[in-house]
Structure 1
Amino acid sequence: MGQHHDHAGHDHAGHDHTDMDFAEMLPLLVREAELYTPSYREAAAWLREQQPEPGLIVDAGSGPGVISGLLAATFPGARVVAVDGAGPLLEEARARADRLGYGDRFSTLESELADGLGELEYPADLLWASRSLHHVGDQRAALAGFARGLAPGGTLALLEGGLPTRFLPRDIGIGRPGLQARIDAVHEEWFTRMRASLPGAAAEIEDWPALLASAGLRHTGTRTFLADLPAPLSDEARAFVVTSLTRRREGLAEGLDPDDLATLDRLLDPDDKASVHHRPDVFVLTAHTVYTATRTD
């Protein structure tokens, strides 16, 4: 798959916020980012090699600010600005910053990424955009806006692509083997429709280094970071799997065949011993790919 877009309904930050219930979404957004923190921490350490002492970091499509906080911890001398289109998520990001002790160098900007980063007071030395760009119709124009938001010598870190998340073995003993692969195929079709429906949607080959170059940036690196939570899962990770599969069941039901829907229903039934609530073989495994580029002018 060319994209890493895990969720029917897209349970992550930096997206089209028009039809989302943030009171419902917030716990999942936080749980997902916290579960994946080890891989994000590895990515931040890699970025520190490229941009050791940024003065200003922008988290574009920050959601509730979990990664903003990780960046604040990785770069203790930097100011951090979280940019997102959803006010409730930014409120959570501010509360998180105060709670974790970096609120004095943290601020927020409410803006949809399609509208650019023009209201930033200063250009960014490091701009992080995690799975947010693909929620903008014209990704090429958004990348050009990111480039304008960078200081000379600044770094853009774009997390897109990677691999879809796996929760279950191929053969789980109920239903036909290969359930998650079929769910992924239906999700790819959903994602294509979602992209096509965005304002100003423009089809692009998902060659991120080439798109970065088209924005006038110099591609400097690509690395993929593994998020590996093996069985047996913690209660938090298991709850994340339950919620993620529930959203897939709700968002992709029309594209799945009746047998697969019946299997999903069993997997989500807390009274069924074969469900993800109880089975010992549930895991979380995915890969996040980060592309970096610098502004050289």
Structure 2
Amino acid sequence: MSRPRTVDWAAVADELEQLARVRSAWQRAAARWLAELTADSPPRRILDVGSGPGVTTCLLARQFPEAEVLAVDVQPELLARAAALAGRLGLDARVRTRRLDLNDVTELPTADLIWASSVVHHFGDQVAMLARLASRISPGGLLAVAEGGLPSRFLPRDTGIGRPGLQARLDALMEDWFTERRHAAPGSVRRVDDWLALLAAAGLRPRRSRTFLVDLPSPLDDEARDHVRSMLARLRDLLADRIEADDRAQLERLLDPRADEGVLRRPDVFVLAATTVHIAHTPATPPRPRTPAARATP
């Protein structure tokens, strides 16, 4: 079995920032939903845990104009971008940054709302991570965890330049890559991906889940096209030793900026993605994690 490749998040800072911009519609919709859920008691402090370059941090700051928002990440390069973006948007009086290993989130101040998007699945014991986050929520506060949804789609099933079904095959390879990566994570524990149950196991009170759509039909603008090219290039690089030769040739053609069949030129490229946000709140007393049925991942 090949060794899972790791991701250098600082090296892909441009890609992360572009991804957040292109797909910001779902984040804005999620922020409005959170505002509805907290209308009776708007949050005064928000933590964006695993903030990356701060696009969502600033969206939250705009949605909650009375709140202080803290962007938390381990990568200083990404936090620098978050601070710069907040400055450009005139939000620097309310947006701060904190460099922190996310295993150490218990060192953070408490908050009325914690947002964690595509963060918890990186940890070997997801319930333990959720419990650490729960310990930072003020009584009655909310934890919003964005995990799962549906794989993104960019291309028609038949691109006309190779065997149809390229993205479905890439999805299957990514599932294997991700499974190996989770198995290799320190303290890895296998659990069913039932996020409301995981939140309950962490001592929280689950409320509901809601899925948000990104639907950018063709023809795409230049930035969205470049985003698609970046995503496909990342898949090519992450799965370099897994992709069959015919699919690699098709990918290279799609990534060729000079080819009419490439994603920067072809008229049928689109972006369709779905992300699910799971909401839980703290009880009146501090949460006490419990252990659900689980088994250690070999």
TM-score by length of 2: 0.91
Matched letter for residue 280 of structure 1: P
Q: 1:111 offset after TM fit, Å? A: 1.4
Aligned to 1:96: 85
Residue 191 of structure 2 corresponds to residue 204 of structure 1: yes
Matched letter for residue 209 of structure 2: T
**What are the equivalent positions in structure 2 for 1:3-152 lying under 5 Å apart?**
20=8, 22=10, 24-52=11-39, 53-115=42-104, 117-121=105-109, 123-152=110-139
Cα distance in 2, alignment partners of residues 252 and 20 from structure 1: 15
Cα distance in 2, alignment partners of residues 37 and 20 from structure 1: 23
Matched letter for residue 85 of structure 1: V
CA-to-aligned-CA distance 1:104-133 (integer Å, 9 cap, x gap):
112112112222x22223x11000000011
Aligned to 1:221: 208
Residue 165 of structure 2 corresponds to residue 178 of structure 1: yes
CA-to-aligned-CA distance 1:73-119 (integer Å, 9 cap, x gap):
0000000011111111111111111111111112112112222x222
Unaligned runs of 5+ in 1: 1-7, 10-17
**Is the contact between residue 9 and residue 75 of structure 2 (CA under 8 Å) also seen in structure 1?**
no
Q: 1:21 offset after TM fit, Å? A: 5.9
For these two proteins, the number of residue pairs brought into alignment is 279
Cα distance in 2, alignment partners of residues 207 and 294 from structure 1: 17
**Is the contact between residue 59 and residue 82 of structure 1 (CA under 8 Å) also seen in structure 2?**
yes
Change in Cα spacing, 1:19 to 1:242, as seen in structure 2 (3 Å) is closer
Change in Cα spacing, 1:21 to 1:55, as seen in structure 2 (3 Å) is closer
Q: 1:70 offset after TM fit, Å? A: 0.1
Aligned to 1:5: none
CA-to-aligned-CA distance 1:200-244 (integer Å, 9 cap, x gap):
222111110000001111111110000011100000000011111
Q: 1:49 offset after TM fit, Å? A: 1.2
Q: 1:295 offset after TM fit, Å? A: 0.2
Cα distance in 1, alignment partners of residues 126 and 119 from structure 2: 10
Decide which of 140, 155, 162 is 1:153's aligned counterpart.
140
Matched letter for residue 253 of structure 1: A
Q: Give the 3-state SS of the residue equivalent to 2:148 in structure 1.
A: coil
Change in Cα spacing, 1:19 to 1:190, as seen in structure 2 (3 Å) is closer
Q: Give the 3-state SS of the residue equivalent to 1:103 in structure 2.
A: coil
Q: 1:19 offset after TM fit, Å? A: 5.4
Matched letter for residue 245 of structure 2: P
**Is the contact between residue 53 and residue 79 of structure 2 (CA under 8 Å) also seen in structure 1?**
yes
TM-score by length of 1: 0.91
**Is the contact between residue 218 and residue 295 of structure 1 (CA under 8 Å) also seen in structure 2?**
yes
Same amino acid, percent of matched pairs: 51
Change in Cα spacing, 1:19 to 1:35, as seen in structure 2 (3 Å) is closer
Aligned to 1:167: 154
Matched letter for residue 137 of structure 1: G
Residue 274 of structure 2 corresponds to residue 287 of structure 1: yes
Q: 1:251 offset after TM fit, Å? A: 1.1
**Is the contact between residue 51 and residue 126 of structure 1 (CA under 8 Å) also seen in structure 2?**
no
Q: Which stretch of structure 1 is more off in the superposition, 86-95 or 161-170?
A: 86-95
Q: Give the 3-state SS of the residue equivalent to 2:272 in structure 1.
A: strand
Q: Give the 3-state SS of the residue equivalent to 1:278 in structure 2.
A: coil
Change in Cα spacing, 1:76 to 1:144, as seen in structure 2 (3 Å) is same
